[in-house]
Amino acid sequence: MRGRLEWLEIDSEALAGNPLGDPSRRPILLYLPPGYDGGRERYPTVYFLHGFTGGVRSWVNRTAFQPSVPERLDALVASGAAPPAVGVFVDGFTALGGSQWIDSDAIGLYRRYLAHDVVAFVDARLRTVPAPGARAVVGKSSGGYGALVMGAHHPDVFGHHASHAGDAAFEYCYQPDFPRAAAALEGSDPAAWLEAMLRRARETRPAPSDHLTLNVLAMSAAYSPRPDAPLGLELPFEPGTARLREEVWARWLRCDPVRFVPRALDSFRRLRSTWIDCGTRDEYSLRWGARMVVEALRAGGLEPVHEEFEDGHGGIDYRYARSLSYLLPRLDRG
């Protein structure tokens, strides 16, 4: 790499005392571009949000023959294909596998953690340009969902965003898994099931169906928290019959980008850049939600960049080179 990576740790006020007992002290991975060391120039920043069951260290995991996302960012900058920027890779892992980068009574204040604690921490320690027009937030899957959340709630912090295969159109990406999750949870409450799953993971490995059920629990904690229930969450279906709980499901749908983006058009109008893409073979049917979100933005008079590509949901880190090539020249500089 022509630039370099640096690890720091942040003590987050927003995550202190979170309901799951997850650490409030979190690692942050920084990418510092060539010329940063020894210089005086200020740089724009790109904040990277990982997906469900990922963590900040996932960004540097080695995949044979493929560059990591930090290496892809470095290659763009070092080749002159895109202007330099600081990369900030944020940790949002939880005891349930993820946070959806939102504030939840069952998980913690992860939206506040990112938009307030992490951004303030980075601006105080690095030579950044501390303005919305100089900040982008990008992510894939749950991280792509988080980028849309930041667009809706924090245009005063992030002026640019990119969502790669972000969770959207919940009827298509989540609801088909409810019957199988109900079968896995039959005869057990969510807390007991989680304890058994963690034991399997420690002793051997999770069962093939565990990820699906864990995802339903984590999304329930994000979208339908209930403090007096096991794990502090309310499932969107009835135990025993898997019948949809309409009132709980309605809470989920309020968190669906297909629903919240049209309500937040004034926020999205304040953004300088919006990038949305998804594979045409996405296993979670996320291309339909992406299309609906783009349609809502265009109906509101906005012009998001929308791309589709021939691939599925996994192994698409190469798409970051596409979004970063678009975003980096649009970021304000010092």
- Beta strand extents in the chain (DSSP E only): 4-11, 25-32, 45-49, 86-90, 103-104, 108-109, 135-140, 160-164, 273-279, 305-309
The pLDDT assigned to 281 comes to 98
Q: What is the mean pLDDT of the chain?
A: 97
Residue 257 CA to residue 289 CA, distance in Å, equals 8
Neighbours of 150 (CB within 10 A): 28
Whether the per-residue pLDDT at 299 is higher than 90: the answer is yes
Interval 234-273: pLDDT, tens: 999 999 999 999 999 999 999 999 999 999 999 999 999 9
* Domains of the chain: residue spans and CATH: 4-169+258-330 (3.40.50.1820), 172-253 (no CATH)
The pLDDT assigned to 119 comes to 98
The pLDDT assigned to 208 comes to 86
| Residues 83-95, mean pLDDT to the nearest whole number | 98
Interval 93-148: pLDDT, tens: 999 999 999 999 999 999 999 999 999 999 999 999 999 999 999 999 999 999 99
The pLDDT assigned to 232 comes to 96
Tell me the DSSP string of 8-56. EEEE-TTTTT-TT---SEEEEEEEE-TT-TT----B-EEEEE--TT--G
Interval 150-173: pLDDT, tens: 999 999 999 999 999 999 999 999
Interval 186-229: pLDDT, tens: 999 999 999 999 999 999 999 888 999 999 999 999 999 999 99
Decide: 15 and 60 in contact? Cβ < 8 Å.
Answer: no
Task: At 275, give phi and psi (nearest 5°).
Answer: -120, 130
Interval 303-323: pLDDT, tens: 999 999 999 999 999 999 999
Whether the per-residue pLDDT at 12 is higher than 80: the answer is yes
**pTM of the full structure:** 0.97
Whether the per-residue pLDDT at 334 is higher than 80: the answer is no
